[in-house]
Every structure is written in structure tokens, then in C-alpha cells.
Structure 1
Amino acid sequence: MTNPFTYGGVVGNGEFCNRTQELADLSQTMRSCGRCFVYAERRMGKTSLVMRALDKLPKKSFVPVYVDLWPTDGSASFATTTARAITSAAETKTTKLLEFGKAMFGRLRPSVSLDDSGQPKVEFGIDGRSVSKTDLTEVLAAPQSLAVRSGKTVVVVFDEFQQIADYEDDLAERQIRSSIQHHKNVAYLFLGSRKHLLQSMFLDQSRPLYRSAMHYPVGPIATKHWQPFIAKRFADANKTFSNPLISELCEATQGHPFYTQHLCHVLWSLIEPGSEVSAAQIDQAVAELLRRESHAYVILWESLTKNEQRFLRGLADRETPPQPFSSDFTRQYGLRSASNAQRAAGSLVAKDLIEREAASYVINDRFLRLWISQLQS
């Protein structure tokens, strides 16, 4: 059998665990032309979640536009990437692609060619010049124009939206706010994984996008939802995995979808058909994963300051989120003062190694957390 546990990419319908409420909420936002800021830790499955919600929309009534901003580095690449996504969502035929591109994005000099598989693709060139406010206005007006032209609701998803915080200026950020507030029959979802950057964009009164979208956090999946999902996939291969041991596995991964699926993938490969999963085999699967990642973790660990290492040790050592600036925490882990702990936390957040969670922090990489725990023991 093919291993039923997948990780590292967009998860399809058959590999999707729960998220029933999240799907219903985001689908409603799309159908009602809302504005939504969807944030989660990296690999939490927000892209898979939103893509599944898009897939459920009837094609006769909706035009989904997915814009991946991860490779963009400024207003110019934002403009061309967004224009390409809108054009590709609106048309598929070569002649229609160019016609639509010229009608909507004439300033960006559209052209059409064939990709490696022989399918038409549209490209935009700005001849090395800087992108102006007029260029961005043209690009960001396109979703509303497409809604009017098609008679459908357009749903625009900007993935990895925190990238625009690193652009050379705030031109794109300002123009997004200026444009979308006037759009009807267009829904906008802003996805991101660096919560502190995204929250500064949407919660800071001095930023253009302040309070321009509702907030929707996506968190881990509860053990009660993982239990039937995991047990069935083992049972389908004539392998038994009891609920108490599934709970132990989920405790190790803290219910994080990527790490739970990854650990299950390795464990499933270790178990022979007709066998039952044991606690020792879960430990064996964890050991194998940490062996694979050990070299990278050692390099990372050695790049950290002593106080950063101490702060991470404190987070990894606690089953429940600690109070990281308390005297008990700073004394136990050698940080000596709350100010030292605060500086270490700020640096680790900036390095995307930890994320604020209520009044504490979590280590983003759940396997790094286990590696640090083993390092201490």
C-alpha cells in the first residue's frame, strides 16, 4: 500500500483531517465577499485549508484567484505575480490570455508563451522601471473588473502575505487598502505564517491595513479528531493503533498537522501488517526522525546565544506553556533576569524559531522541541 500519511505539500481531500468548522467559516467569508486575515504557524495547513474551501465553491458562480507572494521581493514582483494569477484564473486559452492581459494590465506589457508541458502561460515585463502607484492601481482594480465582466464572485487569496512587510517601501500595502475598500463581489483572504509581522500590519494604527480584515487564527488539531483519522489509516493496512497510544503521539507533536502526519508516516512504515503499534515503536519513529534532522539542528543550536539556548530549553522542558519572564523560570534556566529572557524571546521570534501563544511561547518546529528535550536528558 501507498503510505497514507502525507506532509510537506498541499494536502488533498482524502488526506485532510477534520477542520470542519474552519472550512465552514472560511467558505462563508468567501461567499459573503468578506475580508479575512488567516494566520497560523508554518506548516499548520492554512494553505491546504483555504485551497479546499476554494475547491468547494461552485465554478459557475465563483472565480478563485490564488496569489503566492512567497517569491516576491518588492512592489514590482507583487504587481506581476498578482497580474499573472488573475489572468490565469480568468482565462486558459492562449489567445484569450493575451487579450485579457492587454485589457486589464496593458501597462505591464503582457506576453504569452508555452511552458515545459506545452500549456500557455502569461508573463508580464516592466522593462526594468520602477512600479508606480498607477501600475498597482491597475493591477488591484482587476478583481473588481473581473467580477463585473464575468458576473461572478471573485475570491482573491494572498498567501504568505507577510512578505510585503519586507518590501522596499509600503506602496503595495497602501494601495491594497485604497483599492479593496471599494470593491464589491470580491472576497479577500490574507494568509500568513509570521504572526508578529502580520499582526503589526493589521493591528498597528499607523499601518495602512489597520483593522481592514477580520482575524482568523488556525491552530493545532485536537487529539479527539486525530484518533479516528489515524486509527483508520493504520486499520486499512491491517495495522492496529490504539487510541491511548495515538494520544501519546499527538502529545509529542502537540497536534500540529505537519509533524503529526510526518511522525505517522514514519511509524506506519515501521509497522508490519497484522501488528499492533507499541510505545517502543513510537519512540523508535521519533528517534529516526530526530536522527535525520540532527545535523541541521546541531548547526542551528550552535548559532544561538547561550540565553537563546536557555530560553528554548525552558520551553522544551515544560509540557504546559510556562511563564517565561517569571523569576522561577529565569532562575531555573540560568537567564538571571526577566530582561534577559525578554531579549532572548524577541530574538527567537525574529528568527522564526518561536511564536507567541497567549501569555507564553511555543517552539515552532515540534521535532526541534523533542530534540532539545533529548539534549537535556
Structure 2
Amino acid sequence: MENPFTHSRVATGKSFCNRQQELKDLTYYVKNNQTVLLYSHRRTGKTSLIFELMGKLKKMRPVVRSIYIDLYGTLDENDFIAAIFSALPQIESKLEKLLKLASGLKLSIVVDPLTGQPSVSVSISRSERPKYLKSVMEIVASYAKKQKLVVVFDEFQEIDKYTDPGFEKRLRSHIQLHKNIGYIFSGSQKHILTQMFNTTDRAFYQMARSYPLKRIELEQYIKWAQGLFKKRKISIASEIITDIVDRCEYQPMYIQQFLFELWRQADISPAAIASIESDILVRRENEFII
């Protein structure tokens, strides 16, 4: 059986641990066109939850389509617009149609020869940015006319550092007019997001339902890990999993890494746990050696 644990990519499917209540809540909110502010510290499995949600929505009948827009590293409205354009192939597979929708706009579209996926760069003057933002948001809205759509902006706190005058107000003015779309604003810097959504003179004041992501409970980790090891006909004691979760301080990424290494061990014992932790720490130290 293939190792079901992962720490180098987004955990979905069998690699995804529980969060059934969160999936239920978020599904209800977005299906009813609500706007959600999802936040947590980094490495708490937020992105995995988002992708698991998107996969669940895709399997529904009628299908609920989703578009995931990663804003990490964006610096201004120009980058924001490019990020949306680059994400559009998630809901429109025909490049010709995208080009038609974006006709009249100065875009540079490059198709990756390996993945076949297009990436978009936008280089426009400040005065043109409002026009381009309006155009791309209208394109997004057009895909919700006949079918419900969910739009996810990940690392949404990045827009707080944009210096484009009036950007947040313009973005809100577009979003609040959209119908048949559920929005998720996701981020990892609570203090910035709180200021953005709870300060009376900010554009996004009280626009979204706050949904803080709590840590996964120990009992859920135990049930999940034991279930996966059982498929390999290996019994793993609750105490072992508890020890791992404690050592990793409940952080999903580190727990995944620990269990990934444990999966190939013939001896699942406290000594094996200590050895794995030592190996992981050594590798991390070497990563910082130049």
C-alpha cells in the first residue's frame, strides 16, 4: 500500500485528517452564497481543508465549481489581477474562450510546456488598474450565472500592504454585487485580518462571517492514524500517536511528516519514535547549513 501520509504537498483524500464539522459548516456557508473569513496560524492544515472542501463541492449534484487564488507574495493590484487571471483555467479549460473573454486587455499569457497550464502576467499603469480589476471580476461573475461558484482568496492579508489608492473599496464594490457566489477569504495573520474586517473605516468591515480554524483534537488524530495503519495490518497504540502529536505540538504538517517516516518502520515503538524525531531534527539543521 502506498504511503498515505504527506508533508510536501496539500493533504487531501485519505491523507486528510477529519475536520468533518469544518467541512460541513463551510459547505453550508458557501452553498448559501455567504462570505467567510477563515483564519489560523500557518501549518495548521488550512489549505488542505480548502482543497478538501473544493473536492467535496465538485462531487456534489449539481456540481459547485471552485476557483482557488493564492495571493501569497503579491505586492499590488497589478499582481492581484494577474493572480485571478492565472487561476481562471480552473473553471475554464478552453484557452480560446479565456482569450476571447479577455480581449482588449493587455495580457501576457504563457503556456507551460510541461503542464499545459497558462500563466498570466499583467503590466499596466495605475490608472488602468481599476478597469482591469472590473474586467476580471466580471469574468469571474459570468461563470456563476448558470452554476454556483466558490471563490477562495488564500493569504488574503497580503492585500493590506498594497499601496493602490482605493483598492479595497473597489474590490468590495465588485464582490458585494455578485450573485450565486460564495467567497472564502483565508489567511494566517489574525491581527491583520482582524483589522481589515473589524475596523469601522475599512472597506471589508463586517463583510464576512468569521471562522477561526481550531486545532485538530487528539482523538481525531488517533482514529485517523490507526485506521490507515490498520489497512497495512499494523496495530499502532494510542499512546504512540499521542506521543507523536505532543512532540509535533499538534501541527498537522509535522504530524504528517512523522507518520510518513513511521509508515516504513517494522518496529513501531517509543524507541522508533525517538529515532525518527532525531533524524527529522538533523535534516532540518542541515537545511540551514550553507
TM norm structure 1: 0.70
The AA in structure 1 aligned to 2:95 is T
Superposition map of 1:231-310 within 5 A: 231-269=226-264, 271-272=265-266, 275=267, 277-294=268-285
Structure having the higher Rg: 1
Structure 1 equivalent of residue 133 of structure 2:
136
Q: Deviations over 1:269-288 (max 9, x none)?
A: 3x21xx4x222222222222
CA shift at 1:253, angstroms?
Answer: 2.0
Maintained 8 Å contact 1:3/1:265: yes
Q: Deviations over 1:124-162 (max 9, x none)?
A: 533x422432322232233323322xx111211101111
Structure 1 equivalent of residue 118 of structure 2:
121
1:199, 1:183 → 2: CA distance?
Answer: 24
Structure 2 equivalent of residue 93 of structure 1:
94
The AA in structure 2 aligned to 1:14 is K
CA shift at 1:111, angstroms?
Answer: 5.7
Pairing partner for 1:183 from 173, 178, 186: 178
The AA in structure 2 aligned to 1:289 is I
2:111, 2:131 → 1: CA distance?
Answer: 29
Maintained 8 Å contact 1:67/1:81: yes
Structure 2 equivalent of residue 146 of structure 1:
143
* Structure 1 SS opposite 2:69: strand
Q: Does 1:31 align with 2:13?
A: no
2:279, 2:203 → 1: CA distance?
Answer: 47
Superposition map of 1:64-83 within 5 A: 64-83=66-85
Q: CA 1:120–1:262 in structure 2 vs 1: closer, same or farther (change >3 Å)?
A: closer
Maintained 8 Å contact 2:112/2:119: no
Q: Deviations over 1:268-325 (max 9, x none)?
A: 33x21xx4x22222222222211222356799xxxxxxxxxxxxxxxxxxxxxxxxxx
1:170, 1:209 → 2: CA distance?
Answer: 15
The AA in structure 2 aligned to 1:13 is G
* Structure 1 SS opposite 2:5: coil
1:117, 1:171 → 2: CA distance?
Answer: 39
Q: Percent identity?
A: 32
* Runs of 5+ consecutive residues of structure 1 not aligned to the other structure: 300-377
Q: CA 1:137–1:95 in structure 2 vs 1: closer, same or farther (change >3 Å)?
A: closer
Structure 1 equivalent of residue 7 of structure 2:
7
- Between the two proteins, the alignment pairs up a number of residues equal to 287
* Structure 2 SS opposite 1:132: helix
CA shift at 1:240, angstroms?
Answer: 3.1
1:143, 1:118 → 2: CA distance?
Answer: 23
Structure 1 equivalent of residue 86 of structure 2:
84
Maintained 8 Å contact 2:71/2:155: yes
Maintained 8 Å contact 1:33/1:184: yes
CA shift at 1:176, angstroms?
Answer: 1.8
The AA in structure 2 aligned to 1:32 is N
Structure 1 equivalent of residue 47 of structure 2:
47
Q: Which has the higher helix share?
A: 1
CA shift at 1:93, angstroms?
Answer: 2.1
CA shift at 1:220, angstroms?
Answer: 1.6
Maintained 8 Å contact 1:220/1:254: no
TM norm structure 2: 0.89
2:231, 2:109 → 1: CA distance?
Answer: 47
Q: Which has the higher contact order (CA 8 A, sep 6+)?
A: 2
Maintained 8 Å contact 2:81/2:122: no
CA shift at 1:2, angstroms?
Answer: 3.3
2:285, 2:86 → 1: CA distance?
Answer: 40
* Structure 2 SS opposite 1:23: helix
Q: Does 1:214 align with 2:216?
A: no
2:116, 2:239 → 1: CA distance?
Answer: 50
Structure 2 equivalent of residue 329 of structure 1:
none
CA shift at 1:120, angstroms?
Answer: 5.8
Aligned-residue CA RMSD in angstroms? 2.4
Structure 1 equivalent of residue 189 of structure 2:
194
CA shift at 1:185, angstroms?
Answer: 0.9
Structure 1 equivalent of residue 221 of structure 2:
226
For structure 1, which segment, 60-69 or 175-184, has the greater mean C-alpha deviation from structure 2 after superposition?
60-69
2:270, 2:99 → 1: CA distance?
Answer: 59
* Structure 1 SS opposite 2:37: strand
* Runs of 5+ consecutive residues of structure 2 not aligned to the other structure: none
* Structure 1 SS opposite 2:200: coil
2:110, 2:117 → 1: CA distance?
Answer: 6
Structure 1 equivalent of residue 19 of structure 2:
19
